[in-house]
Structure 1
Amino acid sequence: MNTKKYDVAVIGAGPGGYVAAIRAAQRGAKTLVVERRFLGGVCLNVGCIPTKTLIRSAELYRLMQRSAEFGILTDNVRLDLTALMTRKDKVVSVNTGGIDALFKANGIDCVIGEASIPAPGKIAVNGETYDAANIIIATGGRPAVLPGLEFNGSTVIGSTEALSMTRVPERVAVIGAGALGAEFACIWHSFGAQVTLIEMMPTVLPRCDEELTKRLAQIWKRRGMDVRTGTKVARLEHLDNGVRLHLEGDSPGSVEVDTVLVGIGLQCNSEIVAAKPSLGIRLGKRGGIIVNDRMETDVPGIYAVGDVTDRTWLAHGASHEGIVAATNATGGNMRVDYRVLPACNFTSPEVASVGLTEAQAVERGYSVRCGRFQFAANGRAHALGETDGMVKIVADSRTDEILGVHIMGPEAGELIAVGALAMSMEATVEEICRTIHTHPTLSESILEAAEDYYGHGIHTRPRKK
C-alpha cells in the first residue's frame, strides 16, 4: 500500500492544532490532523468553553439574588445543576462541531488515534504511517497533580471532574489560586458553597499586578470566601464524611471539607517526544518542548505550539503560535511577539492584563509612572451594579510608552483588547488620551486612567502636590 503524503501534519486538534491546520490549508498545503480524543482539545471540551459556560450561570445566579436592587422581585430562585450541565454540554457540542465543519470546508483530513513520530517526516497512527514534509506538535497539557493529593474522582478532583459534578459541595477547598483554581472558587462560591481558597504564593493570581490582586482578595473575603495566601497543604487526611487538610505557612491549622479541587495548573503532554529521544528534540526543565520564536524545534521540519511548549498556557497564545508555525511550515516568515499577549482570569470580578506589571517594569529598569481609575467612578459600572475594580496603566515616564495595562472589574476580558491593540501599535499614553471614547461605557475607564497618568483625570480627585 502506498504511504499517504502530506505537506503538513498536525498532532492535536486543540486551539493550537486546529488553527495551525486551517492556516496551513489556507496557504495551499495538503494537511492532516491526528487527534487522540476529541476535536477542540482541552479548551473546548473540558477547559475554557465549558468553564466559561458555568461562569455565566454563576453570574446570573448571583445577579438574580441581587435582583431587588434593580427593581425586579423574584421568589424562590433555585439552582438546577442538571439543566446547567446540559446547557454546558450543548455549548461544547456546538463549538466542537464547528471545527469538524471547518476541517471539511478546508479539505483537511482528520484521523482519530494516538500518534507517534517514528522519524522526522513520518507519523504513525492506527497501524498506518504517513509522510509529512512538516510536522506541528500540538498535544497540549493535562491537569497537574500534587504528590499526596492525587485525584480519586470523589473527594479529591481536578478541573475535568469539576465540570461534571452532579451536586454543589457544601464545603470545598480549592488548592491553587491561579486562573484555574480561582475561577472554580468563584463558581462554587456563587452557587452557595463554603469555599476555602489556598495559595502558597503571597497573593491570589500570582502572575497579575499585585495592586489589583490584593484588592481582589479583599473583595472575595468581603463576600464570604475564606482566602488563605502564603499557605500550603502539608498533609491530607481522609475522613468518613470528607477530607481534612492540614495547612502550614501564613494560615496554619486545618480545614475540613467535602471536596478538594486541585487547581495548580497543567503539565505538558510531551510524551510523544520523550518516548523517542533519537528524534533529537529537547525538553525543558518542566517537560515542555523547546522552540524558538518561529515555533521551530531543534529538528528541521518539526514545530511545536501551545501548552506542550510550556510557554503561555493560554488558548489564544496557542492559536497564535499555531498560525506562526503553519505560516513558517508553508514557506512564510513569521515570529511570535510575546511582549503583547493579553490574558484574562474569568473570576468575579474579572482580572485581565497585557504587558508588564508595575513590579516587573521597575525590575527591568524602567522609570515607571502609573495611571489609575476606579470603576466606582464610572457611570456605566454603576448602571450595571458592578463597581468593584480599577484600570491601571503602567508606562515609561521618560517616553510615555505603554508597558502594561491591567484591569480588574466588569468585562475586563473584553476591555483588555484595547490595551493590547495600543501596545501592538506602540501607542503612547497621550495617544489614548486623544482618542474619543463612547459614553457611557466601561471603556471610558481606560481613557480616565490615561488622563490620570498625567495628573488631570476629569473624574479623579486631584493629586496632592
Structure 2
Amino acid sequence: GEAKFTSKNNIQVKTKEGNLRNIKFDCGIVATGSNPLIIPIPGKDLEGVITSREAMSLEKAPQSICIIGGGVIGVEFANIYSNLGVEVTIIEMLPEIIANMDREIVSSIEETLIENGVKIYKSTSVEEISKMKEGLKVKAKVQDGTFIEVESEKVLMATGRKPAGDGLGLEEIGVEVKKGAIQVDNLFQTDLPNIYAIGDCTGGIQLAHVASSSGIMVAQLIMGKGKAVDFKTIPYCVYTKPELAGVGLTEEEAIRKGLKVKIGRFPMYANGKSVIMGEVVGLIKIIAGEDTGQVLGVHISGNGATELILSAGIAIRLESTVDELLTTVYAHPTIGEGIHEAAEAVFGKAIHLPEEE
C-alpha cells in the first residue's frame, strides 16, 4: 500500500484495493530509499531511454548503448555490457569518471574499459536525445565547444539517484524535507524525536551498507541499547573487473587539505597469489601522514579489492600506523599480503619491488 503520515504517531495506508487503514506507533523509521535521477534534457522520455532498473532486466543485450554518466552506476554497467560484446559509449560531464575515488585506482578500470572498446567522453554534457529510424541519437557538447553525436540502440541514464522522501506527509506534521531529502541529525532523528529516517531518503551517502548499518543502529537506539556507528570510515566499492575499493582520504583530498603525506604503492603483478590466479591488473595504495605514519587512506584496484578494503577500514578507524601494519604477520600466499608490501613501499622497502633510490 501507500503510506502517509497524519500525525507524529499515526500513518494512513491506502491498500491496492483502495481501502484506508490507520496504524498507530510510538516510533517510526522512514526508509523509502531513492529513485533514478533523470536529467531534464529533450528526449529523456523516448522509448529506448532507460534507467539502471530497466538495464538490469532487459530480455536481451542491445547491439549498442550510450551511457549518460560516468559515475559508479555508469561504469559498472559499461563493464557489464562491454563484456557481453555490446558497443558502449560513456558521456561524463565531469573531467574524470568516478570522480570521488582516487585517480590512480580509477585508471585501472578506465584502461580496461578502453581496451574492451568502450568510448569515453569526459567534460562533455548531453544536449538532447532524438529518435532515429532505428535506435537513438545523443547529441553532446564537449568542453572545447565542439559537438559529438552518438548513435545507439539504447540510452542509459546513469546520472545518479534522488532521495524518495516526498509525498509522505512529513512536512505537514513538522518534519523538514529538502528536495526529497528528509533532514536528520547524527542519530538519524528528524525534527520529531520519535521519527527517524535512514538510508538514501536522507540525501546522505547512498550505499546499501550505510543504510543497513543506520537501520540497525536506529532500531537499537529505539530499544535503548544502541551505540552510534562510526561513519567516518565508510568503504567505497565498485563492482567491476578489476574491482575498485577505497576508504579514508584519497591522494587528491590529502593534497587539497594541505597535508604532508607519504604514499606506498604495490602492484598486483608483484603479488604471488595474484600471479597464481592470473589476475595481475591492479594496485594497492596507502596514504600515510608524513610525520605520524598514521594510515589516512587505503585504495585498491584488482581482484579481491572489495574484500581487502574491510581490514583497511578497521586500521584507519583504530588510527593504526604504517609501522603497526609492518609488524603484523600476513599469511602467504594471499592477495592481502599486498597491504603489507604497500606499507613497506611507504618507506621504499617493498621486498618484491626494486628498491627506490
TM-score (norm 1): 0.72
Match of 2:155 among 251, 254, 260: 260
Cα distance in 2, alignment partners of residues 426 and 266 from structure 1: 33
Correspondence list, 1:14-413, <5 A: 113-126=1-14, 127-148=20-41, 152=45, 154-250=47-143, 252-273=147-168, 275-284=169-178, 286-413=179-306
Which whole-Å CA distance do the structure 2 matches of 1:439 and 1:148 have between them?
53
Distance 2:293 2:232 in 1: 17
CA distance in 2, matches of 1:130, 1:205: 43
Instruction: Return closer, same or farther for 1:150/1:429 CA change in 2, 3 Å cut-off.
Output: farther
| C-alpha contact 2:176 2:183 (8 A) present in aligned 1 | yes
Q: Distance in 1 between matches of 2:229 and 2:202?
A: 13
Provide the C-alpha distance between the structure 1 equivalents of 2:46 and 2:277, rounded to a whole number of angstroms: 39
> Retained in 1: the 8 A contact 2:254–2:261?
yes
SS in 1 for 2:27: strand
Q: Could you tell which deviates more after superposition, 242-251 or 224-233? A: 242-251
SS at the partner of 1:186?
Answer: helix
- Give, as a single letter, the amino acid of the residue that structure 2 aligns with 1:299: L
Q: Work out whether residues 203 and 213 of structure 1, in 8 Å CA contact, stay in contact via their aligned partners in 2.
A: no
CA displacement at 1:360 relative to structure 2:
1.3
CA distance in 2, matches of 1:389, 1:153: 39
Q: 2:26 aligns to what SS in structure 1?
A: strand
Question: 1: distance between equivalents of 2:262 and 2:9?
Answer: 51
Cα separation, partners in 2 of 1:384 and 1:154, compared to 1, 3 Å: farther
Query: Residue 352 of structure 2 corresponds to which residue in structure 1?
Result: 459
> Percent identity among equivalent residues?
35
**Rounded Cα–Cα distance in structure 1 between residues aligned with 2:3 and 2:286:** 45
In the TM superposition, what is the alpha-carbon distance from 1:362 to its structure 2 partner? 2.4
What amino acid is aligned across from residue 8 of structure 2 in structure 1?
A: P
Report if aligned partners of 1:178, 1:263 keep a CA contact under 8 Å in 2: yes
Q: How many residues align?
A: 350
CA contact (8 A) 1:209 1:406 kept: yes
More helix by share: 1
Cα distance between partner residues in 2 of 1:234 and 1:309: 30
CA distance in 1, matches of 2:147, 2:184: 41
Paired with 2:234 and 2:46, the residues of 1 have a C-alpha distance of: 35
Q: SS at 2:94's partner residue?
A: coil
Q: Does the CA-based 8 Å contact 1:375-1:388 persist in structure 2?
A: yes
SS at 1:293 equivalent? coil
Displaced runs of 4+ in structure 1, greater than 6 A? none
Structure 1 unaligned segments of length 5 or more: list them.
1-112
AA paired with 2:11? I
CA distance in structure 2 between the aligned counterparts of 1:420 and 1:150, rounded to whole angstroms = 43
Which residue is 1:439 aligned to? 332
Counterpart residue identity of residue 118, structure 1: T
Give 1:342's aligned amino acid. Answer: P
Report the alpha carbon displacement of residue 151 of structure 1 after superposing the two structures with TM.
5.5
CA distance change for structure 1 residues 408 and 252 in 2, over 3 Å: closer, same or farther? farther
- One-letter amino acid of the structure 1 residue matched with residue 124 of structure 2: T
Question: Residue 125 of structure 2 aligns to a residue in which SS?
Answer: strand
Q: Under a length normalisation based on structure 2, what TM-score does the superposition of the two structures give?
A: 0.93
Which among 334, 341, 348 is matched to residue 448 of structure 1?
A: 341
Q: How far apart in 2 are the matches of 1:456 and 1:125? A: 64
Counterpart Cα distance in 2 of 1:202 and 1:144: 20
Query: Which one is further off, 250-259 or 224-233?
Result: 250-259
